[in-house]
Amino acid sequence: MDRCRKTITRYARIPTLAAILVVGLLGPTSVKAQSSDFGIWSAVGVEKKINKKWNVGAETEFRTRNDSKTPERWSFGVDGSYKLMRYVKVAAAYSLLYDNNKEKITWNPDGNYNNWRPSYWGVRHRFSFSVTGNVDIGRLKLSLRERWQYTYRPSKITERYDFDNAQWETTEVRGKGRNVLRSRFRVRYDIPHCKLDPYTDIELFNSWSLTKMRYTIGADYKIRKRHVVGLYYRWQNITGDDDDNQPDCHILGMGYTFKF
């Protein structure tokens, strides 16, 4: 442990590519971030290495919003990956999302209330396929992941209040599907003689136009061979029509993975 601490101190004095990447990317959003939300994302997962090429896993996640006062989402997902060659792997996944959709208020032209739909919980189904390429440059590990993602939201019957008629009425939220291309570039740094694995990444969400960007810096720590914990900070910048209906947000993330 002392050897690890000394190594971290030594390399912390060196401005790495990861640090330069995060500072450069976050700079333009610093002003807008002052009016953003804050949430906590926590996840627990398991991974199983079947052989040298195949891996499978499962994960459950819980998210909050509104300065972490309001539950936002529960999810459960399964995935599998296959290593095509040393530097390339492909993966497929399915996730069941249970979302807490925000309330919605509409207004009349005279400025008075029209309709109010309270927040409600609803289900979405998400499928994805990804290709990841990686290369090592010294102790830097660079990776680029391209992920196609399709999310389907079934129709949902909800209640809303009609202020004009002073009564509750039943309404339908129509089902819809959406395709998104997610591109993520990640940099990891291998600290000698240390179980701490720091990283940073940027991810772009594209649905015919750029809709969302995420900037992340964090680290994973291997407690033992089978136990890994992670902690990260993420800044989410909404640039267009986001299917998840999320705002600009500061995110504190934490996770635990059991490998067997």
Residue whose structure tokens are 């490998």: 259
Q: Which of 147, 149, 123, 131 is nearest to 242 (CA)?
A: 149
pLDDT above 90: percentage of residues in the chain: 81
Q: In what order do the strands lie in the sheet with 104-107?
A: 104-107, 113-117, 156-162, 167-173
Q: What is the pLDDT of residues 12-49, one digit of tens each?
A: 444 444 444 544 455 444 444 457 899 999 999 999 99
Check if the beta carbon of residue 196 is closer than 8 Å to that of residue 165. no
Q: What is the pLDDT of residues 146-177, one digit of tens each?
A: 999 999 999 999 999 999 999 999 999 999 99
Of 73-77, 98-102, 168-172, 191-195, which range is least confident?
191-195
Mean pLDDT computed over 229-235: 98
Distance of CA 165 to the CA centre of its chain: 42
pTM of the model as a whole: 0.86
CA distances from 68 to 27, 65, 220, 250, 251 (A): 24, 5, 23, 10, 9
Under DSSP, the state recorded for 51 is S
Topology (CATH) of 35-257: Porin (2.40.160)
Q: In whole angstroms, what is the distance from residue 37 CA to residue 66 CA? A: 6
List the structure tokens of 238: 């909404």
Mean pLDDT of all residues belonging to the chain: 89
Terminal C-alpha separation, the chain: 25
Model pLDDT, residue 105 = 94
- Across the strands, what pairs with 162? 115, 167
